[in-house]
Amino acid sequence: MKTTIKLVIAAACLLLAACNRNIDMTTVLNSDGSCDRILVAEVDEKFIQGDTSQQPFVMDLAGWEIQWTYKDSKRSSWPMRDFTKESKDSAEAIIAIARRHFNSVQQLADSFRIKSSHAWNRITIKPVLEKEFRFFYTYYHYKESFSGLPVKLVVPADKYLSAEEAGYWLTGKPDITRGRNGIEVKELLSSIEDRADKWFLRNLFEIQYGELLHHLELIANHPGKAAMAMEKDSVFAVYYADYTKSKIDIDLMTVLDKYFKTTAFGNFTKAGNDSLVQQINEPESLKGLFDYFDASIDYKLVMPGAVITSDGLLSHDTLSWKIDAYRLLYGDYTIEASSKKTNGWAFLTAAIILILAVSLFFVKRRPRH
């Protein structure tokens, strides 16, 4: 049961090498408090023809306006039943755009749901908008929360990392690098990486070890479940030492044979028990965790007026965030932004009032004849 370090880190959610389904999602807030949500996805010609059985969007399409574009063409209405992609254009992408208008952010919160067939169907999304009128300006504060993964790791992060270190490593918050130079940041991150690796590796070990104990009676001449349970921490010490030496592969069965001075585990692996070995190596709980890493959201937000504060990256008038399982592994993840929009009519009204007041003042001061 040899596990490459790439699988170890992927299984432990540090470096995912699996296929990832990116979700491109944009929320446009309007000054009246309404909003538009827009999602973009690459689709095949079957979808353009109206077949939604494999539609790539994160939500069901009822109530959404769908358009599509192909080869830099103008947007077309959907579906187009007789569309056929030319063989010479096999490399050309077909892009579909799903758009829906909501009268309020509350309506968005009540209506937008991840479809049941999607890997993230147990993730809930809660957008909230606070709007404050101050005559000359209207202030908007928007936040959207994504619930943490409903899969909990066996070993919590605080066994190896402080809350601040774990938060920064997984979500980028808080910024623990402030005030440090490049050398100090490198040393800090190197230390965190080593301990994060150990934390992730310990979780993988716990999952595999537990699955192995569950099927232990199928392995001839095993050391005994009680003895193995008692020696688990010591076995992990050897397991981790092997990892730090090679950084290439980890073979739990070899570690167990070495630690318990037996050949039972190696013999079991060689005896043609491939399906069971795979089940021990990749138990259902691990696959459940993998499912959440099969998708991520490239999230964009457009606010009314000028952005004044945000934890996102600002480019022109658009804020952006990455929402993925790393961030949700740490718990609920919230994006926030505030903006200020000038009320032009308020300045105009104030100017008119000021002009009238000044005019009235001079009219009253004009001498009477």
pLDDT in tens, 267-320: 998 887 788 888 887 888 787 888 898 899 999 999 999 999 999 999 999 999
What integer best gives the mean pLDDT of the chain? Answer: 88
DSSP symbols for 225-253: HHHHHHTHHHHHHHHHHHHHHHSSEEEHH
Percent of residues, the chain, with pLDDT higher than 70: 88
Distance CA 318, CA 28 (A): 9
pLDDT band, very low/low/confident/very high, at 80 (cuts 50, 70, 90): very high
Sheet containing 35-43: which strands, arranged edge to edge? 76-77, 65-70, 94-102, 35-43, 21-29, 295-302, 318-323, 313-315
pLDDT at 63 over 70: yes
What's the half-sphere exposure (Cβ side, CA atoms, 13 Å) at 130? 7
pLDDT at 6 over 80: no
pLDDT at 11 over 50: no
In this structure, what token pair is assigned to residue 107?
A: 């309506």
pLDDT at 65 over 90: yes
Give the three-class secondary structure for 298.
strand
Distance of CA 92 to the CA centre of its chain: 28
What pLDDT score does 358 carry? 66
What pLDDT score does 4 carry? 41
Q: What pTM did the predictor assign?
A: 0.83
Yes or no: say if 268 and 294 are a contact pair by the CB < 8 Å rule: no
Angstrom distances, CA of residue 58 to CA of 70, 146, 179: 21, 14, 40
Distance CA 69, CA 67 (A): 7
pLDDT in tens, 226-251: 999 999 999 999 999 988 887 666 78
Instruction: From 70, 60, 187, select the one nearest 118 (Cα to Cα).
Output: 60
Other C-beta atoms closer than 10 Å to the C-beta of 80 total 14
What pLDDT score does 245 carry? 83
Angstrom distances, CA of residue 306 to CA of 59, 309, 314, 338: 30, 9, 11, 9
What would the mean pLDDT of 55-74 be, rounded to a whole number?
92
pLDDT at 120 over 60: yes
If one compares 19 and 39, the residue with the highest pLDDT of the two is 39
pLDDT at 151 over 90: no
What pLDDT score does 17 carry? 39
Strands 65-70 and 295-302, by their bridges, are: unpaired
What pLDDT score does 361 carry? 64
